[in-house]
Amino acid sequence: MSHRHSRRTALKILGAGIAAAWLTPHRSLARSGALLRKSIPGGGQLPVIGLGTWRTFNVGSDPQLLDARTEVVR
């Protein structure tokens, strides 16, 4: 008995796997009712937001790169 799969069978299996992953709800996509907040000096709080990946803003101490990233945040 041969255990070789045809291209059609392989694509069906791949498609089923992708569909299962796409249809499965993920915790990271769930929204909660309350916003996360972080305390700031002066007694206030700001909502916590994402500003992109760490690779985008991890520029070390290069003044030119820091200035460019500061403009993005403004």
Give per-10-residue mean pLDDT for the chain (74 aa): 75 90 72 80 84 74 88 78
- Determine the 3-state secondary structure of 43 from DSSP: coil
> What per-residue confidence (pLDDT) applies to 27?
65
> What per-residue confidence (pLDDT) applies to 35?
79
Please give the Cα distance from 30 to 45 (Å, whole number): 23
> What per-residue confidence (pLDDT) applies to 1?
46
Residue-range domain boundaries for the chain: 49-74
- Determine the 3-state secondary structure of 6 from DSSP: coil
CA atoms within 13 A on the CB side of 40: 6
> What per-residue confidence (pLDDT) applies to 32?
65
Q: What residues form DSSP beta bridges with 45?
A: 39
> What per-residue confidence (pLDDT) applies to 50?
72
> What per-residue confidence (pLDDT) applies to 15?
92
Q: What 8-state DSSP symbol labels residue 35?
A: P
